[in-house]
């Protein structure tokens, strides 16, 4: 089983649509959770951290369900500039506690005019 699993998409949506991405992780001891955004051939950039209580940042809402080992990202009122690959990322405890990031394969979003 993959450590972090995402539907690769692509998700093709019109401007203004609401779109939701899901992610599951295999290690129940995972500690921290993030959504990163990656534009084509660019570096990953942190979109938002994901907290147990859920959190919102403008049009973006992230949810975490530890019992189901499930993370979600909701984007409301999609903009053309939201077109990118969204990476689900977790950290798991290790002996040295380095905070290494474990990435999902990413979900591609294409917002059309």
Partner 1 sequence: EPEVTQTPSHQVTQMGQEVILRCVPISNHLYFYWYRQILGQKVEFLVSFYNNEISEKSEIFDDQFSVERPDGSNFTLKIRSTKLEDSAMYFCASRDKRVGSAARNEQFFGPGTRLTVL
Q: Which residues bind partner 1 (CB under 8 A)?
A: 31-34, 38, 41-46, 49-51, 87, 91, 94-106
Q: Which residue, 39 or 77, has its beta carbon nearer to partner 1?
A: 39
Q: Which residue, 19 or 106, has its beta carbon nearer to partner 1?
A: 106
Q: Which residue, 64 or 75, has its beta carbon nearer to partner 1?
A: 64
Smallest gap, in angstroms, from Cβ of residue 45 to partner 1?
7
Residue-level length of the chain: 113
Smallest gap, in angstroms, from Cβ of residue 12 to partner 1?
19
Q: Where are the beta strands (DSSP E) in 1-113?
A: 4-6, 11-14, 19-25, 32-38, 45-49, 55-57, 60-65, 70-75, 84-91, 102-103, 107-112
Report the distance separating Cα 76 and Cα 23, nearest Å.
18
């Amino acid at each position: 089983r993959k450590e972090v699993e995402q539907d690769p998409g692509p998700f093709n949506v019109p401007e203004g649509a609401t779109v939701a991405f899901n992610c599951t992780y295999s290690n129940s001891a995972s500690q921290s959770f993030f959504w990163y955004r990656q534009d084509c051939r660019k570096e990953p950039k942190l979109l938002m951290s994901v907290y147990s209580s859920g959190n919102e940042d403008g049009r973006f809402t992230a949810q975490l369900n530890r019992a189901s080992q499930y993370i979600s990202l909701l984007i409301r009122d999609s903009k053309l500039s939201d077109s990118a690959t969204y990476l689900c990322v977790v950290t798991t405890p290790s002996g040295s506690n380095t905070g290494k990031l474990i990435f999902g394969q990413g979900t591609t979003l294409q917002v059309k005019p």
